[in-house]
Structure 1
Amino acid sequence: MKFTRLAASLVLAVALLGFGPALAAEPENTMIVTLKDGDVTVALRPDLAPKHVEQIKALVREGAYDNVAFHRVIDGFMAQTGDVQYGDTANGYDPAQAGTGGSERPDLPAEFSSEPYVRGIVGMARAQDPDSANSQFFIMLAPNPGLNGQYTVVGQVESGMDLVDKIKKGDANQNGVVSDPDRMVKVRIAADGN
């Protein structure tokens, strides 16, 4: 019993001192995604995937994610976005190509971790090659242990999952492809202000 109390105290102390996953809540590692209904706050996890988080933050700061569609949304699974090449709804959205593109930046080597794919986890989308993630990411709507250790975890939704749940769902018969999709209106890093 003493060990349990001690362990709980240590966990609390570590969280309060800002070590471990709590570091992701710092403004530099907080991504705010504005949807049509409000803001979704994502704690990015450079402790798990430093190269992927660095690339996401660079794309955010370039404005590359603004107006990018949620091109694939599967009810009870996930909502996928981030195709800055073909998914920009304000500048040349291509529904036939959305989900096949990336950015002008290079693809990234996998940074797999033991972090489980539960509701609210943000992971990097990729092709069959584990080292092909670039700009696309997805937000888990429900747990899916089959993804554990197979896709790079880059963050977790801290607030706004109710808004993620409202993102327009795709056609289940078309692998979740969404016609007239919702979009990320604006994406920013909290440290940069508005």
Structure 2
Amino acid sequence: MKKILFTLLLIIFMKDAMAENTNEKLLLELTHGEVVIELHSDVAPLHVERIKQLTKEGFYDGIVFHRVIEGFMAQTGDPTGTGMGGSNYPDVIAEFSNKPFERGTIGMARSSNPNSANSQFFICFKPAPFLNGQYTVWGTVVDGMDYVDAIARGEPPVEPDKIVRMSLIEE
């Protein structure tokens, strides 16, 4: 009986904890203004945990948007600024879902290996259904998309915009 009660309490606690995680947000301070990102730990818990870990370490602060394609997306998260770099942590396994890539959707960049996501991510300027089920969705811009739209275009941009600072929003 004690085991059953313990298990039920554990399930209730975990359910409440997971529900709280779906309200987590990041503040992405860009050159032109602030962007608020809602994290989707319910869809991609491993990727969200990696993003949070790197954010807490200040990894993203000062990193440029090295690949920005008009009508598609803005990519960042590479400390070398070349599109070939990442963090010193192991890659994260794919967490593909049926969550669609729409305007403001944030996905994890990777190589042709589905399990090669590390620190790079991209923000979609408009819907990109060809990415659905092929890349991990870990967040959505909920405020400040106009500042994302203002990011300088290019591969790489001549004068790239950067992440001034990225931080967790404490509620």
> Normalising TM by the smaller chain, what interval?
0.7 to 0.9
- What is the distance in 1 between the residues matched to 2:21 and 2:88? 29
1:24 corresponds, among 2, 12, 22, to 22
1:43 corresponds, among 38, 46, 49, to 38
Shift of 1:21: 8.5
Following superposition of structure 1 onto structure 2, how do residues 71-110 of structure 1 map, counting pairs within 5 Å? 71-84=66-79, 86-87=80-81, 98-110=82-94
1:162 corresponds, among 141, 146, 154, to 146
1:120 corresponds, among 104, 121, 129, to 104
The Cα offsets for residues 25-67 of structure 1, whole Å up to 9 and x where unpaired, read as: 3xxx211000112110000100000000000000000000000
Matched-pair identity in %: 50
Shift of 1:107: 0.2
Shift of 1:178: 1.6
Determine if contact 1:34/1:40 at 8 Å carries over to the other structure: yes
| Residues 1:62 and 2:57 are matched in the alignment | yes
- 1:4 corresponds to: none
Following superposition of structure 1 onto structure 2, how do residues 145-160 of structure 1 map, counting pairs within 5 Å? 145-160=129-144
Gaps of 5+ in 1: 1-17, 88-97, 171-175
- What is the distance in 2 between the residues matched to 1:180 and 1:132? 28
- What is the distance in 2 between the residues matched to 1:181 and 1:169? 8
Could you list the runs of 4 or more consecutive aligned residues of structure 1 that deviate by over 4 angstroms after TM superposition? Answer: 20-23
Q: What TM-score results when the alignment is normalised by the length of structure 1?
A: 0.76
Q: Tell me the SS of whatever aligns to 1:185.
A: strand
Root-mean-square deviation (Å): 1.9
The Cα offsets for residues 146-186 of structure 1, whole Å up to 9 and x where unpaired, read as: 0000000000000000000000011xxxxx32222100000
